[in-house]
Amino acid sequence: MITNKTTILLSFIFCVCLRETSSAQTIPKEELTFLTSQWKGERFADGRPKVSDDLIARAKNIGLDDAWTALKNLGYVNQFEGGWKTVNNEVITGRAVTAMFMPTRPDVEKNIKERGVKQGHAGNTNAWPIDVLIKGDVYVADGFGKVAAGTLMGSTLGNSIFSKTGNGVIFDASARDVEGLSEIKGFNAFVRDFHPSFLESEVLMGLNTPIRIGGTIVLPGDLVLAKREGVLFIPAQLAEQVVTTAEFVTLKDDFGFEMVKTGRFKTGQIDSEWTPEVKQAFYKWVDQHKDKVKMSRETIDKILEKRTW
């Protein structure tokens, strides 16, 4: 007997819930809202959490290791993935639009493409996620790590993606035409490798669904932070807390470097539980460096109290 739970599971795998009136989804908006129910802010029409543009901009200036530590301390241990090759050194931050690709089979691909044409899609299915991208999005795709004939993008699609998002991509797959991609100013791509082949024997089986990228789980709307160390996927409801905590760590480190350099405190005093004397010196230092502070005194108090950094 097929239960409601079975139906929901199948919708994740086979995308049977895609509606002609809502071609940007493969799961109902209600299900995506349920999966991201801890997010209490604004959402896009498709149900994705809408992390603010301000947070996306601020995330570019935080340390990935600081953000990872904040997430780990909150119990989120499956959000970082390393082992990437990149087009250039651009930092990527933005809201995840997710895509899941699978090895194709003729009957499934035929059905997917026929339905896609009715919904207004054209070309190969690796281009379809681009249709739903907007400014601030990051195209995140699970291509099951395929390299040869797993090239989800070349320079043509790369230019299209960047023109729509002003951002880059995260592909657990490969890309082609690295020279052409590197000429897109401001663009970056985190991929498993580069290969001269064209995409073959893959089909889009999920769009804006939960996906797996290596050892991580990614939900649509997650805040993506991609730097030299790798890629961090921050749940939308934790974006403000993680970014603010990482900003605090930068303040704390700047304060600590100055205190150690001037001989005011020893390294051990800075790196361990702060005494009232160290805290008082920190607050005085903050008052003298207001140009570096992006948070209120109340927020600083809460972070110091909880020690979530």
Closest CA to 128 of 103, 109, 147: 109
Closest CA to 146 of 199, 86, 211: 199
* C-alpha count within 13 angstroms, C-beta hemisphere, residue 59: 31
Cα gap 147→248, rounded to integer Å: 39
Q: Please, what sign has the CA dihedral across residues 208, 213, 216, 222?
A: negative
Cα gap 236→243, rounded to integer Å: 11
Is 295:248 a contact under the CB 8 Å cutoff?
yes
Cβ neighbours of residue 2 closer than 8 Å, sequence gap 6 or more: none
φ, ψ at 19 (rounded to 5°): -105, 145
As given in the structure block, the two tokens for residue 82 are 């390393």
pLDDT of 309 reads 61
Cα gap 263→243, rounded to integer Å: 30
Tell me the per-residue pLDDT of 135-186, one tens digit each, with 9 for 90 and over. 999 999 999 999 999 999 999 999 999 999 999 999 999 999 999 999 999 9
Closest CA to 227 of 69, 36, 93, 35: 93
* C-alpha count within 13 angstroms, C-beta hemisphere, residue 10: 8
Using DSSP, state whether 164 is helix, strand or coil.
helix
- The Cα-based distances of 11 to 5, 18, 110, 210 in angstroms read 10, 8, 18, 11
pLDDT of 11 reads 44
pLDDT of 25 reads 52
| Confidence (pTM) | 0.87
Closest CA to 128 of 190, 186, 188, 206: 206
Q: What are the domain boundaries of the chain?
A: 77-234, 240-306
N-terminal to C-terminal alpha carbon distance within the chain: 49
φ, ψ at 245 (rounded to 5°): -65, -45
With b for 16 or more beta-carbon neighbours within 10 A and e for fewer, the 188-218 pattern comes to bbbbbbbbeeebeebbbbbbbbbbebbebeb
pLDDT of 173 reads 98
Q: Which CATH superfamily is domain 77-234 in?
A: Ribonuclease E inhibitor RraA/RraA-like (3.50.30.40)
pLDDT < 50 regions, the chain: 1-2, 5-22, 24
Cα gap 301→227, rounded to integer Å: 29
Q: How many CB atoms lie within 10 A of CB 116?
A: 18
